[in-house]
Structure formats: C-alpha cells, structure tokens
Amino acid sequence: MKRTHKFWRRITDGLVLSELWKQFQADTRTSYRLYSREIETSRPPGRGRGRHFIWMAKQFLWAIFDKLTPARRVLLLIALILLLPDVEVLWEKDIHSVKAFWFGGAFWGGILLLVLLLLEIADRVVMKRDLQIAKEIQAWLLPPEPPTVPGLEIAFATRPANTVAGDYYDVFPRLAAPSPGGDYLIAIADVAGKSVPAAMLMATFQASLKTLAATASSLTELVGRMNNYACSNSQNGRRFTTAFIAEYQPASRTLSYVNAGHNPPILRHKAGAIERLQAGGIPLGIQQNAAYQSGMVTLEAGDWLVIFTDGVTEAENARAEEYGEPRLLTVLRANLAAAPQTLLNAIMMDLDRFVGDAPQHDDITLLLLKAV
C-alpha cells in the first residue's frame, strides 16, 4: 500500500488530484484544436450523419498522420493493422489458433505504439527544454520591474498564451531625445501570431527599438524607421506588428505618441472624460515607407493611462463571450484612488473570474500609468 501511494504520488507530481479531470479536459481541447484546424466540420447537404461521421473520422486520422514524420507514419500504420482483428481468421474452427494470432498481433501492435510514444516524448522533452531557454531569454528582454519616472506611477504585467509570447512592453529613458533632459520612451507591441515565431519577431522589435531610440530623431521618424526594418522581416506583411510607442517629457508632463494599428489606449482624465489615443498609422511591417502621424496629450495629476494588447479585451469565457472594454473600464472606475499595481491586480483577478476554465487563446499584456 505504501509503495502504491508513493507510485501514485510520483505519477501525479505537481498536480492536485481534484484538478486531474480539468487538466485532461484542457489537454483534450488543445489537441482537438490542433488536429481539427484544417478539417471542415460542417455537414454538406445530402450527406447523412453516419457518412459524415465516417468522413470526419477519416480526416481526423489523416490530420494525425500528417503531424508525424514519414517513418513514424509507417510505424503507426503497422501498429494499427496489428491491432485490428483478421476477419478471415475469426472463422477458423481452432479457437486456440485464433487467440494466438489475435493476442500476438495485439501485443506487437502495442509495442509499436509504445515505441512511437517514446519517440514523440523524446521530441517533446527536447522542445520543452528549448522553449524553457527561450522563455528565460525573453524574460531577460523584458523589464523585471517598472523604472522610476518623475510624475508617473507605473505597473505592468504579461501572461503568455504559450511558453513564449509575441507581446512586448518596456519603459526606459531615451538619452538621445531631441528635447533636453530626461525623456522616457513607453512602448507596447503585439506581433501577429503566437509562440516561437512571434517571440522571435518580438526579440527583433525590441532590438530595433533600443537601437533606433539611441539615435537623434523625432518620434514619427523613429516609428517610420522601425516600420521599414519590420518590412524586411515580415514575410510580405504576413508577420506584422501592432505597436503603441510614446515619449514622455516629465518637465512639461506631455506625452507624444504614435499608434501603429494598436488597440487605442484609454486615457481617463481626473475629471472623468475618456480619451482614446488613436493618432498614428498602419501596423509595422505591412507597407514600406508608410506615413505616421503623432498625437500629444498632457497628463495631469490623477489621470490614468491604460495600455493593453487585444489579448485582454478579446479574452473569452466558456460561452465564447469576450471580456471587452466596458468591463475593463468598470474595474478602472472602481479603483481610481488605488496605486497602479493594485489596479493591475484587480484587472487580472476580474479577467480570471470572467474567463474561468476556458483556455487562453492570446497573449495578455497590460501597462498602467498614473499621473501623480
């Protein structure tokens, strides 16, 4: 009994038993979405339910085969054949020979499936290790904590949908600012797509932003040069990036900004008026030499600036309902007197309550600024 308990504890290490079914459901949904992504599930007119079920099963099986290497496809095919009973042998009179054939085929079919499973696990372990390294590198690219900016209190957080994310955020001093003394660059970006490809482009965005921010140029010139650089790495516009890049001058409390196709940040003035920061242009990486306009606002004590990626407002619950900006504004109004970190925690908790057990489909990033 003691050995059994030790064995079970090792099997379920890191997982509470009550969460086992939820984890299994989440893994099943994720796997189904992976295999059914290219399958047309709608039933055409004239096709019966039985025929449609068989057609779906065949397409699903082919989707599994397509995810394997050619050698592993052959291995899986042989294993499935061995697991199937031979109809002609079942008519033999000698039941013992039937059992010998059946259990022998099933045994070797099971062995082949086990070998296939071990090969897939080996790939997964190697990939998991590489992703963990990529996650550590990405964490190094992002600021661990907000910097001290005169006149502002700042809080930010990100939650990737996968191990690595395509979202980027940063606040750092711009030493080469055209205006004299102490300007700060504020940036948030969302690369189209998720996981490793988006994370690689996010790293190039971070590198180009830091490099170009060190040169003497206006904000629109900086964004224009970033767009031209992004166009050279965007696969003809398929890998574009939405971004909100702003420059804050503590001396005048002014915020110049360029919105490159990003969700318009919410500026909530102390008096209660809501302003959306929309001036800018198209996302980065779509059109070479695209023109960008800048906007400017003055931040007064008590003003809130909420900058976010679409993973926040488009987060869905189990009924496919989106979180939406009205809920975000409701949490903001309820915490106007709070510090940015307190508001950030309140938004993330409200988001978790709304989403529940539904899977996260996109990276979530929030950047909050409060003028003091």
Please write the tens of the pLDDT for every residue from 241-264: 999 999 999 989 999 999 999 999
Average pLDDT of 19-40?
68
The verdict on pTM exceeding 0.75 is no
Tell me the two tokens of residue 32: 């189904």
Residue 90 CA neighbour count, 13 Å, CB half: 4
The residue type of 295 is G
Q: What are the Cα distances from residue 216, in Å, to 180, 219, 257, 261, 348? A: 12, 10, 16, 24, 38
The residue type of 122 is A
Average pLDDT of 207-222?
90
State the DSSP string of 71-86. Answer: HHHHHHHHHHHHHSPP
Cα 327 to Cα 333: distance, rounded to the nearest angstrom: 10
| 237 pLDDT tier (thresholds 50, 70, 90) | low
pLDDT, tens only, 125-147: 776 776 666 667 667 778 888 88
What local confidence, expressed as pLDDT, does residue 90 receive?
45
242 backbone dihedrals φ, ψ, rounded to 5°: -90, 145
| 1 pLDDT tier (thresholds 50, 70, 90) | low
What local confidence, expressed as pLDDT, does residue 8 receive?
65
- Three-state DSSP state, 124: helix
The larger pLDDT score, comparing residue 47 to residue 24, is at: 47
Does residue 11 carry a pLDDT above 70? no
Q: Which of 35-44, 115-124, 327-336 has the lowest mean pLDDT?
A: 35-44
pLDDT, tens only, 71-88: 888 888 888 887 776 544
- Three-state DSSP state, 98: helix
Summary mean pLDDT of the chain: 82
317 backbone dihedrals φ, ψ, rounded to 5°: -95, -170
**Alpha helix ranges (H) inside 236-339:** 310-313, 324-334
- Helix/strand/coil (H, E, C) string of 190-250? EECCCHHHHHHHHHHHHHHHHHHHCCCCCHHHHHHHHHHHHHCCCCCCCCCEEEEEEEEEC
Please list, in sequence order, all residues whose beta carbon lies within 8 angstroms of the beta carbon of residue 312, skipping any fewer than 6 positions away: 323, 328, 347, 351, 364, 365, 366
What local confidence, expressed as pLDDT, does residue 318 receive?
86
What local confidence, expressed as pLDDT, does residue 273 receive?
93
Q: Are 159 and 366 in contact (CB under 8 A)?
A: no
